[in-house]
Amino acid sequence: MSTFQIDFGEANKTPIVGIDLGTTNSLVAFLDLTGPRILPDAEGRNIVPSVVSLAADGGMLVGEAARDALITSPERTVYSVKRLMGKGPSDVADELKLFPFRIDETQDSVIRLKLGDRTLTPPEISAQILRQLKQQAEDHFGAPVTQAVITVPAYFNDAQRQATKDAGRIAGLDVLRLVNEPTAAALAYGLDKRKQGIVAVYDFGGGTFDISILRLHDGIFEVLATNGDTHLGGDDIDNLLLRIALEDIASEWGQDVSGNQEAVQLLRRAVIRAKERLSFVPAVTIELDYRGRQYARELDLATFDRLIAPIVERTLEPCRACMKDAGVTPERIDEVVMVGGSTRIPLVRAGVEKLFRAKPHTELNPDEVVALGAAVQAGILAGDVEDQLLLDVTPLSLGIETMGGLVSRLIHRNSTIPASAVEQFTTAVDGQKNVLIHVVQGERELVKDCRSLARFDLKDLPPMPAGMARIEVRFLIDANGILNVTARDVRTGAEQSVEVKPSYGLSDDQVEAMILESFERAEEDIRERQVREARVEADSILTATEKAKKDDAWMDLSDAERALVDRAVNELLVVYHSEDYVLIREKIEAVNEATMKLAENMMNTAVRSALKGTKI
- Would you say residue 555 lies in a domain? yes
Same domain flag for 436 and 475: yes
Per-residue pLDDT, 421 = 85
Q: How far is CA 335 from the centre of its chain?
A: 22
Q: What is the pLDDT of residues 289-326, one digit of tens each?
A: 888 889 999 999 999 999 999 999 999 999 999 999 88
For residue 601, the number of C-alpha atoms closer than 13 Å in the C-beta half-sphere is: 18
Per-residue pLDDT, 283 = 94
Q: Which entry of 82, 134, 275, 587 is annotated as an active-site residue?
A: 82
Same domain flag for 125 and 29: yes
383: left (phi over 0), alpha (psi -120 to 50) or beta: left
Nearest to 48 by CA among 66, 71, 60: 66
**CATH number of the domain enclosing 409:** 2.60.34.10
Per-residue pLDDT, 173 = 94
- Would you say residue 316 lies in a domain? no
**CATH number of the domain enclosing 582:** 1.20.1270.10
Per-residue pLDDT, 25 = 92
Residues 6+ apart with CB under 8 A from 171: 127, 128, 130, 131, 134
Residues 6+ apart with CB under 8 A from 159: 86, 87
> Per the structure, how many domains does the chain have?
4
Whole-structure pTM value: 0.63
Same domain flag for 437 and 585: no
Same domain flag for 49 and 179: yes
Structural domain including 32 reads 16-184
Identify each DSSP E strand in 392-515 by its residue range.
392-393, 398-402, 406-411, 416-417, 419-425, 435-441, 451-458, 471-477, 483-489, 495-500
Check: CB of residue 342 under 8 Å from CB of residue 348.
Answer: yes
Same domain flag for 471 and 493: yes
Active site residue 91: no
- Would you say residue 374 lies in a domain? no
Check: CB of residue 349 under 8 Å from CB of residue 16.
Answer: no
| Phi and psi at residue 239, to the nearest 5° | -65, -35
Same domain flag for 481 and 538: no
Same domain flag for 495 and 565: no
Q: Which entry of 20, 368, 384, 528 is annotated as an active-site residue?
A: 20
- Would you say residue 570 lies in a domain? yes
d(CA 608, CA 365): 61
Task: Provide Rg for the chain, Cα atoms.
Answer: 28
- Would you say residue 439 lies in a domain? yes
Same domain flag for 240 and 262: yes
d(CA 535, CA 541): 10
Per-residue pLDDT, 6 = 37
Per-residue pLDDT, 3 = 35
Same domain flag for 474 and 540: no
CA dihedral 553, 558, 560, 564 (to 10 degrees): -10
Same domain flag for 514 and 575: no
Q: Which entry of 41, 166, 203, 443 is annotated as an active-site residue?
A: 203
Q: What is the pLDDT of residues 492-518, one digit of tens each?
A: 888 888 877 665 555 556 666 777 777
CB-CB neighbours of 303 under 10 Å: 12
Classified as helix, coil or strand, 394 is: coil
d(CA 389, CA 366): 22
Specify the DSSP class assigned to residue 387. Answer: S
Active site residue 499: no
Per-residue pLDDT, 109 = 66
Per-residue pLDDT, 146 = 93
Q: Which entry of 41, 166, 181, 238 is annotated as an active-site residue?
A: 181
**CATH number of the domain enclosing 284:** 3.90.640.10
Helix, strand, coil abundance in the chain, percent, nearest 5:
40, 25, 30
Per-residue pLDDT, 92 = 73
Q: How many residues does the chain have?
A: 616
Same domain flag for 496 and 580: no
Same domain flag for 102 and 251: no
- Would you say residue 168 lies in a domain? yes
d(CA 596, CA 557): 11
CA dihedral 80, 81, 87, 93 (to 10 degrees): 60
- Would you say residue 161 lies in a domain? yes
Q: Which of 307, 332, 347 is the C-terminal boundary of a domain?
A: 307
- Would you say residue 329 lies in a domain? no
**CATH number of the domain enclosing 163:** 3.30.420.40
Low-confidence ranges of the chain (pLDDT < 50): 1-11, 388-392, 616
Active site residue 138: no
Q: Which of 469, 504, 520 is the C-terminal boundary of a domain?
A: 520
Q: Which of 503, 520, 537 is the C-terminal boundary of a domain?
A: 520
d(CA 34, CA 539): 61
Per-residue pLDDT, 39 = 95
Active site residue 571: no
Check: CB of residue 199 under 8 Å from CB of residue 335.
Answer: yes
